[in-house]
Amino acid sequence: MGAIETYDLRLHTEQDPLPVLQKIAEGAYDNAIVSRDSIPSNGYPKSWTSGGPGTTITYDYIHQSDLEESNTIDPIMPAHPGFNMDRKNPSLVGAVYVEGTNPLNIGSYYLDSLDRPLFDICNIETAKICSDRYYPTLYLSSDVNAVLSDPGQYIRPLQEKIFVYC
């Protein structure tokens, strides 16, 4: 089975992730070019209100992120230059954090040379586990409910573009 690369971008829609995605693709594919569908330059807007200002993210940020500072256990794995990412198995996983980003943004990026979406798997984070002193609790915010209650707008379009959706 081929390797699966994951990237934790944690972006809000105010930021343009295209430069970062381009660097990731260059590491995973030889001379790849990442393009964006005709969407607004800042991406699809959210139809809900929450989240603070976006965070400017660079390729170096991915390599130098401190997992303990962000209180997360999500692995951040850099792209490996020259690594052959053949298409026999899913290889690129994109995560969307519904709290800050409209999930349709992830389906907007594709590889020009292969005429296919950049990501093979779209992982939409729809709930968080909050923990107090006694037991963990599954927390669903209003943002999450907005996305899950309208699958025709937020989920079906991604299923049409991306091979696997979870």
CB 147 within 8 A of CB 154: yes
Chain centroid to Cα 166, Å, comes to 12
The secondary structure of residue 1, as a DSSP letter, is -
| pLDDT for 4 | 47
Cα 145 to chain center, whole Å? 19
Neighbouring residues of 157: CB distance < 8 A, sequence distance ≥ 6: 104, 107
Which pLDDT score, from 0 to 100, does residue 155 have?
Answer: 78
Q: Cα Rg for the chain, rounded, in angstroms?
A: 16
Query: What pLDDT score was predicted for residue 147?
Result: 78
Q: Six-digit token pair at 100?
A: 């800050």
For residue 98, what pLDDT is reported? 73
CA dist., res. 143 & res. 155, Å (int): 14
Residues in CB range of 121: below 8 A, 6 or more apart: 4, 90, 92, 93, 94, 162, 163, 164, 165, 166
Per-residue pLDDT of the chain (166 residues; tens, 9 = 90+): 444 444 444 443 345 656 656 666 665 555 566 666 554 444 554 443 333 333 333 444 444 444 334 434 334 444 444 444 444 444 677 777 776 677 777 777 777 666 677 777 777 776 666 666 666 666 667 777 777 778 788 778 877 776 555 5
Structural tokens at position 154: 């937020």
Calculate the alpha carbon distances from 72 to 61, 66, 68 in Å: 15, 9, 7
Half-sphere exposure (Cβ direction) of 20: Cα atoms closer than 13 Å = 20
- Determine the pLDDT at residue 123: 76
